[in-house]
């Protein structure tokens, strides 16, 4: 069976890692990676191939940055050519980025099976490009791999037939478990001169937060006020560009309790999350990683596709309201770091990739 895996962004590389490693164990499978080039900086792409020990892509489309329509359209054109050459039996697409949608659409239009990893996640916010990508990808996929029962229910409500849906768990959880020894070995805490449980992390890169000056300022003013501990702020390239346009950048750089750093590697980031007292983020993946690593999370969004973390009391939606971020941040900082009791993981058992591969192997009609 020829499998083409289409990816192009940092989170998609992480989501694919365990699957790539699992496929290698089966000689009857030939998994080939197509990289769209949506992320091209070393720190957002190649670094993760190196750290997660992944084979090089067979094709690099080098599409690069642009408006959503341009970027998705350019990928669609290039992916079609690549799929003609590779002739896969199935195209796998992880997550919710423009690369996900382009991969799904290119394959579906060529009548190639599409398998979507992380199907059925919904924020119900169509202002987010990711929500558009998720919904359209799900509805042109023939294999929908969900991370939780909740996501499966969502797909059933949308009229997707049950036979197409498999709840396998989260491949991001697989990756986290597989890399735990290297995560522990990371020296990032010493490198940044931090003490365990005595710092917070801020990450923000969502278009709706950072491309809107008012929202970005609310977030920055909140962390400027949360001055009782160090705040590490790994800055995404999109955010870096926007920061340079605000008057707050020089203030941020001069503020002692805030430390701006370049985007971090996988092991470094997870080590920091594990020993942080608080996470403030708009990332999807970090909300779940904070849950798995038992660190309280404030999500600076009005909604989340990972509603389970909110229902389980580990994640709080605070929007992009400065007062709410500061109030809830101070409340958490004044509590001793909580430990989950009777912790359950709604996102699987760390064997999602194995399950996906077994399902594909059983479907002889793919060929
Ligand atoms: C994309 C995904 C988002 C995901 C995020 C993870 C979409 C719609 N968004 O957002 O869901 O959470 O990746 O990081 O697919 N840039 C660089 N170097 C790079 C890549 C981007 O400098 O390697 C800059 C460019 O100026 C570009 C901007 O970042 O214009 C945005 O990049 P893009 O890939 O379009 O979206 P992200 O914000 O990274």
Q: Please state the three-class secondary structure of the chain as a single string.
A: CEEEEEECCHHHHHHHHHHHHHHHCCCCCEEEEEECCCCCCHHHCHHHHHHCCCCCCCEECCCCCCCHHHHHHHHHHHHHHHHHHHCCCEEEEECCCHHHHHHHHHHHHCCCEEEEECCCCCCCCCCCHHHHHHHHHHHCCCEEEECCHHHHHHHHHCCCCHHHEEECCCHHHHHHHHCHHHHHHCCHHHHCCCCCCCEEEEECCCHHHHCCHHHHHHHHHHHHHCCCCEEEEECCHHHHHHHHHCCHHHHHHHCCCEEEECCCCHHHHHHHHHCCCEEEECCHHHHHHHHHCCCCEEECCCCCCCHHHHHCCCEEECCCCHHHHHHHHHHHHHCCCCCCCCCCCCCCCCCHHHHHHHHHHHCHHHC
- With a 6 Å cutoff on the Cβ, whether 241 touches ligand 1 is yes
- With a 6 Å cutoff on the Cβ, whether 46 touches ligand 1 is no
What's the rounded mean pLDDT across residues 146-172? Answer: 98
- With a 6 Å cutoff on the Cβ, whether 134 touches ligand 1 is no
Q: What is the pLDDT of residues 234-274, one digit of tens each?
A: 999 999 999 999 888 888 989 999 999 999 999 999 999 99
What's the rounded mean pLDDT across residues 21-27? Answer: 96
- With a 6 Å cutoff on the Cβ, whether 41 touches ligand 1 is yes
Q: What is the pLDDT of residues 307-331, one digit of tens each?
A: 999 999 999 999 999 999 999 999 9
205 assigned to active site = yes
Mutate which of 74, 129, 237 for ligand 1? The one with the most ligand atoms within 8 Å of its CB, which is 237
Q: What is the pLDDT of residues 85-94, one digit of tens each?
A: 999 999 999 9
Q: Which atom of ligand 1 is nearest to the CA of 41?
A: 23
Nearest CA to ligand 1 atom 26: 238
Q: Pick the catalytic residue: 39, 205, 236, 267?
A: 205
pLDDT grade for 146, boundaries at 50, 70 and 90: very high
Q: Which residues are paired to 281 by β-bridges?
A: 203, 299
Cα 143 to chain centroid distance, Å, stands at 20
- With a 6 Å cutoff on the Cβ, whether 38 touches ligand 1 is yes
C-alpha to C-alpha distances, 158 to 104, 174, 338, nearest whole angstrom: 18, 28, 37
Query: From CA 207, how far away is CA 204, in angstroms rounded?
Result: 9
- With a 6 Å cutoff on the Cβ, whether 13 touches ligand 1 is no
Structural domains for the chain: 2-170+348-362 (3.40.50.2000), 180-333 (3.40.50.2000)
**What percent of the chain is modeled with pLDDT above 70?**
97
pLDDT at residue 240, rounded to an integer: 95
Q: Taking the complete model, does pTM exceed 0.75, yes or no?
A: yes
Nearest CA to ligand 1 atom 15: 97
pLDDT at residue 248, rounded to an integer: 83
Cα 187 to ligand 1 centroid, rounded to whole Å: 27
Cα 238 to ligand 1 centroid, rounded to whole Å: 6
Nearest CA to ligand 1 atom 31: 238
pLDDT at residue 73, rounded to an integer: 98
């Amino acid at each position: 069976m020829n499998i083409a895996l289409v990816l192009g962004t940092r989170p998609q590389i992480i989501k694919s890692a365990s699957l790539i490693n699992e496929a290698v164990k089966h000689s009857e499978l030939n998994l080939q990676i197509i990289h769209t080039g949506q992320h091209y900086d070393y720190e957002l792409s190649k670094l993760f191939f190196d750290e997660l020990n992944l084979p090089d892509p067979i094709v690099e489309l080098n599409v690069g940055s642009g408006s959503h329509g341009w970027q998705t359209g350019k990928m669609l054109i290039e992916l079609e050519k690549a799929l003609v050459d590779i002739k896969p039996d199935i195209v796998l697409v992880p997550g919710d980025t423009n690369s996900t949608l382009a991969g799904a659409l290119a394959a579906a239009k060529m009548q190639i099976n599409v398998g979507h990893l992380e199907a059925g996640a919904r924020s119900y916010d169509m202002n987010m490009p990711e929500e558009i990508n998720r919904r359209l990808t799900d509805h042109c996929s023939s294999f929908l791999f969900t991370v939780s029962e909740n996501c499966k229910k969502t797909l059933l409500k949308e009229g997707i037939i049950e036979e197409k849906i498999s709840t396998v768990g989260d491949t991001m959880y697989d990756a986290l478990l597989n890399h735990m020894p290297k995560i522990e070995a990371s020296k990032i805490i010493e490198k940044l001169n931090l003490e365990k449980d005595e710092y917070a992390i801020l990450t923000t890169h969502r278009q709706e937060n950072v491309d809107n000056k008012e929202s970005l300022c609310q977030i920055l003013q909140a962390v400027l006020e949360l001055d009782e501990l160090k705040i590490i702020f790994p800055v995404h390239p999109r955010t870096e560009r926007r920061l340079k346009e605000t008057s707050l950048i020089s203030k941020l750089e001069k503020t002692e309790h805030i430390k701006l750093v370049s985007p971090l590697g996988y092991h470094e980031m997870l080590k920091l999350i594990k020993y942080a007292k608080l996470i403030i983020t708009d990332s999807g993946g970090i909300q779940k990683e904070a849950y798995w690593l038992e660190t309280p999370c404030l999500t600076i969004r009005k909604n989340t596709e990972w509603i389970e973390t909110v229902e389980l009391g580990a994640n709080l939606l605070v929007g992009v309201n400065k007062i709410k971020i500061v109030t809830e941040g101070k409340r958490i900082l004044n509590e001793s770091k909580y430990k989950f009791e009777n912790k359950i993981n709604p996102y699987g058992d760390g064997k999602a990739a194995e399950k996906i591969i077994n399902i594909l192997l059983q479907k002889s009609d793919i060929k």
